[in-house]
Amino acid sequence: MVAIRYLSAKLAQQIDEELMGAVGAFSLDQLMELAGLACAEALAKVYTKEKYPRVLVCCGPGNQGGDGLVAARHLGMFGYEPTIYMPKPGSKDHYKRLQTQCDNMKIPTLPPSNETDSLRDVLSSSDVILDAIFGFSFKGPVRKPFDSALPLLAQSRLPIVSVNIPSGWDVEKGNVDGVGLNPEVLVSLTAPKEGVRGFTGRHFLGGRFVPSVLTGGMRDRTLEEKYGLNLPLYPGSEQIVELPSDAQSSQKM
């Protein structure tokens, strides 16, 4: 069996551009919806609403945070009790629309602030964290207001589900500075990133972005074949597939 590919930051960006270009023809909103749904599904698979009903969804100001807002909405629909924490809310229109959708569902949002008291309070009454703060374009060091938030999240000892790459990790080098979060669960979108090769928790692939069609019973890989991603098949209608532990033997691209 050929191993799944792990992506560099440059290649991940290139694939995103193709997905939103003539090849994939996805809109950014579509990709965020699929990503957020996959993240919500992964969290629900590992942390049931009966035992872990209260989810703190931590959103950064970029597309990663948008994925988190979508996930918060779906988690609310799944029967969880999400609370949104945005140390620095996004300013783009699509981000604001996603936030309004959560507001319409009466999902509470902590007010943006450099103070940490409100974060401490909500952590004490949460069961699990969804980390959607930094994406694969993150470059250190961690700056305000995130530099005070990440330690509090780590020190809470709550289980963490990270989106794409744990916040504070370099997309290609991993947690080299030792300031990143250490999640129990990771949801890689499109394909895993090079920096998470050493991740040892439960690892899911999500999104189902990459075109893949069945023709005469055989799979036409199209964009997947072009980049040699070697993605596993998603089971049935699920938006996620768990990667085996031996995925660490994958190739670099």
Residue numbers in the known binding site for K(+) are 64, 131, 167
DSSP the chain: -PPPEEB-HHHHHHHHHHHTSTTT---HHHHHHHHHHHHHHHHHHHS-TTT--EEEEEE-SSHHHHHHHHHHHHHHHHT-EEEEE-SS---SHHHHHHHHHHHHTT--EEPP-S-SHHHHHHHHT-SEEEEES--TT--SSP-TTHHHHHHHHHHT---EEEESS-TT-BTTTBSTTS-S---SEEEEESS-BGGGTT--SEEEEE---S--EEETTEEE-THHHHHT--PPPPPTT-SEEEPPGGGGGPEE-
**Contact between 252 and 6 (Cβ < 8 Å):** yes
Q: Which residues are annotated as a binding site for (6S)-NADPHX?
A: 63-67, 135-141
| Residue stretches of the annotated binding site | 63-67, 131, 135-141, 167
Residue 108 tokens read as 């509470």
Closest CA to 122 of 162, 142, 102, 149: 149
Lookup: tokens for 91 = 């300013």
Query: What are 187's strand-pairing partners?
Result: 163, 204
